[in-house]
Chain A
């Protein structure tokens, strides 16, 4: 029995560590993501926006006069004008004005090359953009203010950038990446792995021996859990040394959430793999589960931007529960009792899906 256990466990580790793709997606990718996004949002970057300007052929055009008198010619694009405004704490904002025709400007808008189209009618400037597009709305506020000669930063206010731990974007991002990494690792590692073994007819070969099926599952779980821990430690270590991210709450609570989150996704993986016959279908199932949660659960940006009617549903998505719990421990200093509800939900549903999956599991 012990020999079976050690052999199966060693095989699980060998399979994982000999697959460069698995190593990359589990360890390197989350670190690269945190680095890229952390760096992108940690400095005051120069903001750049583009507007197409359709200048009328009349001599007395406000737009033509504005570009000639208030903007400089672009050094890189000879037909372009640009105007930069430095708002100190907000950083520098450069607006690029591209004189063109209406037809060309529409093409540029379709291609996402510009945020606004400016036209002129009876002495008034018309701003053409999709009001649902946040970037275009922001560009409209800045450009219209600039054209009206207004100072966009109130003279009666002072901007105080928050740089305390827990309030930065990287503090928001790291717990989300941890949760997403564990979800992906469990679903792709366990579910896809089992489905692949079934489609290769390896599962049926394994069970046509005196192998203990329970040991096979246990060793798969142990190995996946060890990988999840290694992923967590790798990302947290990186975030600590590069961005000074630390766990402000209870380490026990943090460990409990990692365990319950891993357990939930392991249970779900067994359920998904229980009957799926081939990897194409498995691929679809896993993507159908992971993609919506990655978009909705507030991994990269807060889910509060979604319509109010969706928020109560999003809050109870497993990945949201997992990521929010980690965030509250890392950033807000929560203890185990503060996150007991999501902890129980994840653990109980994980156990339920695990047992249902095992009950209906098809080895052949």
Chain B
């Protein structure tokens, strides 16, 4: 007998997709395990949405194989849609329907009764807005409604495409709280696409970095940092670029990055406590004055920039 908890819920093998001349996905492999929250991180145009739409059965890959719960989309659409919950980017629901009416309509598609609608209104904290027209809901409340619709059928797999884009920090944290509760109480799996590093770090144990249709790295944040073979960052601003000395043969220094517009130097180092005094002395001897010196651990942001050469928000 197969243990279902060791079988991936989603299995994507060598997925390729091209739109006219643009390669959206260039052979992506992905596995999502039960109760696993996975973040797909990538800048605009990285291929995240195309990948989730293929997982959601909305688009077909040019080649490769995709299965959900061990089944292909072809011939199993209704069955699979009963097991997953979706929230697309920028779906606009009917303006002149109330939050409760919108939920009731979607509940009817799953054969669910009004009790489930009430439960969902509670889960997403929209009880007080149940009679408000969608047009009168705030951005955060609309996202909560979209999340509520995704949760109606108590899905085993939740796929959320940028669920907090454009929301203020408070609304974003409210959505995070709902998703944390869901994982704790229901063991749901989730695929989340996001622009926010903080969101990926806060919600997901597994992170997949994707750019130009390729998976650049995947694993837990700790694995990604360990794989990068560096965990510490020294950052400072150089007041006069011409005085900055050559660091190429400096010990414990793995990499130096210059930001031309701000003269900010970011150094990836192995041992900050040993590196820092030597660096300060070396700069003094060279007559190079610096300001805004900071030491910190490496973040997902640093890894992302290192892998893609771009910021996530680009």
Partners in one complex: yes
Contact surface of A with B, Cβ cutoff 8 Å: 3-4, 6-8, 11, 14-15, 18-19, 200-202, 204-206, 208-211, 364
Q: Let me know if B176 is at the binding interface, CB within 8 A.
A: no
Q: Contact between B109 and A210 (Cβ–Cβ < 8 Å)?
A: yes
**Cβ 8 A contact of A210, one of B58, B78, B104:** B78
B56, B82, B101: which has the most chain A beta carbons within 10 Å?
A: B101
Shortest beta-carbon distance, A192 to chain B, in Å?
14
Q: Contact between B96 and A19 (Cβ–Cβ < 8 Å)?
A: yes
**Cβ 8 A contact of B92, one of A3, A14, A201, A206:** A201
Contact surface of B with A, Cβ cutoff 8 Å: 56-59, 78, 81-82, 86, 88-94, 96-97, 101, 104-106, 108-111, 133, 149
**Cβ 8 A contact of B94, one of A3, A6, A15, A204:** A15
Q: Contact between B91 and A211 (Cβ–Cβ < 8 Å)?
A: no
Q: Contact between A364 and B58 (Cβ–Cβ < 8 Å)?
A: yes
Query: Which residues on A sit within 8 Å (CB–CB) of B96?
Result: 14-15, 18-19
Q: Contact between B91 and A7 (Cβ–Cβ < 8 Å)?
A: no
Shortest beta-carbon distance, B110 to chain A, in Å?
6
* Minimum CB distance partner of B146 in chain A: A205
Bound CA span A7–B105, Å: 6
Q: Contact between B110 and A210 (Cβ–Cβ < 8 Å)?
A: yes
Query: Which residues on A sit within 8 Å (CB–CB) of B108?
Result: 3-4, 6-8
Bound CA span A6–B114, Å: 14
Sample of 18 more A-B contacts, CB < 8 Å, known A18-B133, A209-B110: A4-B109, A8-B108, A11-B94, A11-B105, A14-B101, A15-B97, A200-B92, A201-B89, A201-B91, A202-B92, A204-B58, A206-B109, A208-B58, A210-B81, A210-B82, A210-B109, A210-B110, A364-B59
Q: Contact between B94 and A211 (Cβ–Cβ < 8 Å)?
A: no
* Minimum CB distance partner of A4 in chain B: B108
* Minimum CB distance partner of B86 in chain A: A208
Query: Which residues on A sit within 8 Å (CB–CB) of B94?
Result: 11, 15, 202
* Minimum CB distance partner of A208 in chain B: B86
Q: Contact between B81 and A3 (Cβ–Cβ < 8 Å)?
A: no
**Cβ 8 A contact of A201, one of B82, B90, B110:** B90
Bound CA span A201–B53, Å: 13
Bound CA span A95–B81, Å: 75
Known: A8-B105, A11-B101, A11-B105. A208 touches B93 (CB 8 A): no
Bound CA span A190–B264, Å: 58
**Cβ 8 A contact of A202, one of B89, B91, B133:** B91
Bound CA span A15–B94, Å: 8
**Cβ 8 A contact of A14, one of B81, B97, B110, B111:** B97
Query: Which residues on B sit within 8 Å (CB–CB) of A204?
Result: 58, 88, 91
Q: Contact between A201 and B97 (Cβ–Cβ < 8 Å)?
A: no
**Cβ 8 A contact of A208, one of B57, B97, B104:** B57
Query: Which residues on A sit within 8 Å (CB–CB) of B101?
Result: 11, 14
Bound CA span A364–B56, Å: 12
* Minimum CB distance partner of B56 in chain A: A208
Shortest beta-carbon distance, B125 to chain A, in Å?
21
Bound CA span A62–B88, Å: 82
Query: Which residues on A sit within 8 Å (CB–CB) of B109?
Result: 4, 206, 209-211
Query: Which residues on A sit within 8 Å (CB–CB) of B97?
Result: 11, 14-15
Bound CA span A208–B157, Å: 14
Shortest beta-carbon distance, A49 to chain B, in Å?
49
A15, A18, A206, A210: which has the most chain B beta carbons within 10 Å?
A: A210
Q: Contact between B88 and A201 (Cβ–Cβ < 8 Å)?
A: yes
Supply 28 A–B pairs (Cβ within 8 Å), ascending by A. Answer: A3-B108, A6-B108, A7-B104, A7-B105, A8-B105, A11-B97, A11-B105, A14-B96, A15-B94, A15-B96, A18-B133, A19-B96, A201-B90, A202-B94, A204-B58, A204-B91, A205-B86, A205-B88, A205-B91, A208-B57, A208-B58, A208-B86, A209-B109, A209-B110, A210-B82, A210-B110, A364-B58, A364-B59
Query: Which residues on B sit within 8 Å (CB–CB) of A206?
Result: 109
Bound CA span A9–B86, Å: 24
* Minimum CB distance partner of A11 in chain B: B105
A6, A19, A211: which has the most chain B beta carbons within 10 Å?
A: A211
Query: Which residues on A sit within 8 Å (CB–CB) of B57?
Result: 208
